[in-house]
Amino acid sequence: MTERIPILRIGEVLLVSVQFDLEDEIVMNLQEDLAAEIVEGSARGVIIDITALEIVDSFVGRMLATIADVSRLLDAETVVVGMRPAVAITLVELGLSLGGVTTALDLEKGLARLRHPGSSPGRA
C-alpha cells in the first residue's frame, strides 16, 4: 500500500504537510485526495508545506502547479510554504516557474495570504 499524505483542516483551509520525499504515485494520490477534500468540505484555501523537502524534481514541480490549478477550478486558492532556497533554485533551473502558484515563507504567512487574497503573489 502506498503511503498517503495527511490532509488537515483548519477552518476553511486545508493543510498538507509533506514530511518525506515525494514519489510519483504519492503525488498522484495527493492530487486526488485533495480535490475530493476541497469539494467535500467546501475549502476556500489549501496550504502545501514543503519545508521538509530537500529536493524536488520536474514531475513534483509540475504536480504542485497542477494541484494549484485544480484547486483554483474548485474555488480554493493554493499557497506553497516553506520552500528551501535549493528547491527554488532547482525549480528555476528546470524551467518551472510554478505559474499561478502563490508562495509564502512559512505557514503563518501562508495563512495570512489566504486571509488577504488581494495581496501580491509570490513572496509574503
- For residue 52, the 8-state DSSP code is T
Q: What is the pLDDT of residue 40?
A: 94
Determine contact, residues 69/100, Cβ cutoff 8 Å. Answer: yes
Residue linked to cell 503525488: 27
Give me the domains of the chain, ranges plus CATH numbers.
7-115 (3.30.750.24)
C-alpha 120/C-alpha 60 separation (Å) is 25
Q: What is the pLDDT of residue 117?
A: 64
Cell output for 105: 515563507
Q: Which residues pair with 9 in a beta bridge?
A: 14
C-alpha 9/C-alpha 2 separation (Å) is 22
Prediction pTM value: 0.86
Q: What is the pLDDT of residue 1?
A: 55
Cell output for 29: 494520490
C-alpha 38/C-alpha 33 separation (Å) is 9
Q: What is the pLDDT of residue 25?
A: 86
Determine contact, residues 82/108, Cβ cutoff 8 Å. Answer: no
Q: What is the pLDDT along the chain (124 residues), one digit of tens a residue?
A: 568 899 999 999 999 998 877 777 888 899 999 999 999 999 999 999 999 888 888 888 888 888 999 999 999 999 999 999 998 898 888 888 777 789 999 999 999 999 876 555 444 4
Q: What is the pLDDT of residue 123?
A: 44
- What is the identity of the amino acid at 103? T
